[in-house]
Amino acid sequence: MTLETYLLTFKVQTVLAALVTVLSFIYFDKRQAEVKLLGLTFLLSFLNDQMADILTLRGKEVNIASAIYGIVSFIPLSLLYDKALNGRYHRGFTIVGLLYLVFAVSNLCFVQKDEINTYNYTFSAIVFLFYSILYFYRLMVDLPVQHLHRVPMFWFNAGMLIFNAGTLFLYLFTTYLVEVLHNDLLIYWTFHNIMNVIQLLVVMIGLWQDLRNIKSPSSSLLEP
């Protein structure tokens, strides 16, 4: 894995995050809360990528900024799932969110500090894997429409599931790679970026479907 490959995947994910943000915010008044929260999440992702670029060029540490992004982005994503599940598990989501925020801030301030905050990322990935599976379970049980692939949140959730399932093992083995194998993490971050690109492409399918629903709300969920 080369540095050029890493930089390419980084730039692709940054461009796609910006595109997802734009697609989420056009026709703003007509968009559902889930789409707006999704747009906010990937706006934060885009800004984080820009900050990482700036800090790297100035020779500054990027891990703290990335850790802060991870903590902040947890909030709109949690709200997204709370909305998607119609507040059915609101109390549970609130408790998990508060536990995560306390844990993540404590870890950033007192434990991993300017290291890669893998404990935070692992916690977050496990939470959103559970939320993703829970959403699919409720979707299968409730069957709100005839064709599930016409539901934008189906695609949003699929993207989240793919990304968190794919990157969880990276977070679990980061310490081993750095401290035992003395790996420079080039392969690690390249794979992370590739999983993010896949997530963004899947999410864009959902955004396309959402825009289609806006233009033709009466037929888009019923067509084969």
pTM of the predicted protein model: 0.91
d(CA 38, CA 41): 5
| Paired tokens of 99 | 């536990």
d(CA 187, CA 86): 39
| pLDDT for position 71 | 97
Domain span at residue 81?
Answer: 3-215
d(CA 24, CA 48): 18
Overall number of domains in the chain: 1
Closest CA to 204 of 61, 12, 75, 60: 12
Report helix, strand or coil for 121. helix
Q: What is 74-112 written as a DSSP string?
A: HHHHHHHHHHHTTTTTHHHHHHHHHHHHHHHHHIIIIIS
Q: Would 107 be classed as within a structural domain?
A: yes
Q: Which residues of the chain have pLDDT under 50?
A: 219, 222-224
Q: Would 221 be classed as within a structural domain?
A: no
Q: Would 50 be classed as within a structural domain?
A: yes
Q: Would 224 be classed as within a structural domain?
A: no
| pLDDT for position 224 | 43
Q: Can you give the length of the chain in residues?
A: 224
Number of H helices, E strands in the chain: 7, 0
Q: Would 222 be classed as within a structural domain?
A: no
| pLDDT for position 96 | 98
Q: What is the pLDDT of residues 28-73, one digit of tens each?
A: 999 999 999 999 999 999 999 999 999 988 888 899 999 999 999 9
Q: Would 220 be classed as within a structural domain?
A: no
| Paired tokens of 145 | 């429409």
| pLDDT for position 182 | 63
| pLDDT for position 54 | 93
Report helix, strand or coil for 2. coil
